[in-house]
Amino acid sequence: MKVFLFFFTSIILFSISSDGQTKYWEDLSCSQKSEILENCKSVAIKRFYEGQFRPTDDDKTLQLLNELVSSNDRVMPLSFYLFNKICAKSDGALSEMVEEFCAKFLADHPLYILTYFTKERLLNINQNIIDTYAMFVGIELYMKRKGISKFKYNYQDYKEILLSASKGNKENEETFKVFWQLVDKTIQNAD
């Protein structure tokens, strides 16, 4: 049964990426990771990856977050992986910094990130990351609605970005529904 589930999930995940190019850090070989690290021009990203930098609520962390969410496609697997590490460990003032970056990153790369959430959902691993993103996005959209945030998107526009990205793939559409329920729950709890 586990072999069948793995095989079925693999087929679905392969079909999620229409261009066959969707890659995540965890799925890459050592040589592929090395190539990405070589292509990464950001000293801040490399220092964080090598464990030489600890994110806090300071300007250096702000620079790192900007570089992670603005990365080009060649280093996207590394940037996404590192950004998720920051999201998972952030609390207090750092969380307040990460919220808008999280919402921006997802808006800029909705298919890439939703596909990752789908992969994790289907394999039933790392469910905390979808919860974390939903919490940060929900808080950011709540603050936008209250006029506290200068975030570029309102609730409906942001929802449409993700909904559009999920169209055409049943698993991503289901992931979107799960994710948006979590976003709505966060907003309701903030009221």
Residue range 110-148, pLDDT digits in tens: 999 999 999 999 988 766 899 999 999 999 999 999 999
Residue 10 lies in a domain: no
Beta-carbon neighbour count of residue 5 at 10 Å?
A: 12
Tell me which of 83 and 20 has the higher pLDDT: 83
SS3 72: coil
Q: Which two tokens stand for residue 66?
A: 């900007």
Cα torsion 38, 44, 45, 51 to 10°: value is 100
Do 162 and 127 have their domain in common? yes
Please check whether residues 97 and 178 belong to one and the same domain: yes
> Is residue 71 located within the same domain as residue 103?
no
Q: Which residues of 88-113 are buried (b: 16+ CB within 10 A; e: fewer)?
A: eebeeebbebbbbbbbbbbbebbbbb
Is position 178 within any domain? yes
Same structural domain for residues 125 and 43? no
187 residue type, one letter: I
Residue 1 has pLDDT above 70, yes or no: no
Span between the terminal Cα atoms of the chain, in Å: 44
- Torsion-angle region of residue 51: left (phi > 0), alpha (psi -120 to 50) or beta? left
Range of the domain at 156: 90-191
Q: Which tokens go with 134?
A: 């939903």
Residue 9 has what pLDDT? Answer: 41
Asked, for residue 7, whether it belongs to a domain, the answer is no
96 & 172 share domain: yes
Residue 174 sits in the same domain as residue 99: yes
Residue 176 burial (10 A CB sphere; 0-12, 13-18, 19+): buried
| In a shared domain, residues 102 and 183 | yes
Residue 126 confidence (pLDDT): 64
Question: Quick check: is 8 in a domain?
Answer: no
For residue 144, tell me if it sits in a domain. Answer: yes
Q: Is the dihedral angle over the CA atoms 177, 181, 186, 188 positive or is it negative?
A: positive
Q: What is the average per-residue pLDDT within 15-21?
A: 43
State how far the Cα of 186 lies from the Cα of 139, in Å rounded to an integer. 7
Q: Are residues 121 and 146 in the same domain?
A: yes
- Mention every residue, 6+ apart, whose C-beta is less than 8 A from residue 76: 109, 112
Q: What is the pLDDT of residues 154-171, one digit of tens each?
A: 999 999 999 999 999 999
Domain count, the chain: 2
Instruction: Give the global pTM.
Output: 0.86
Among candidate residues 33, 64, 83, the one where a domain is terminated: 83
Has residue 19 been placed in a domain?
A: no
Residues 79 and 152 in one domain: no
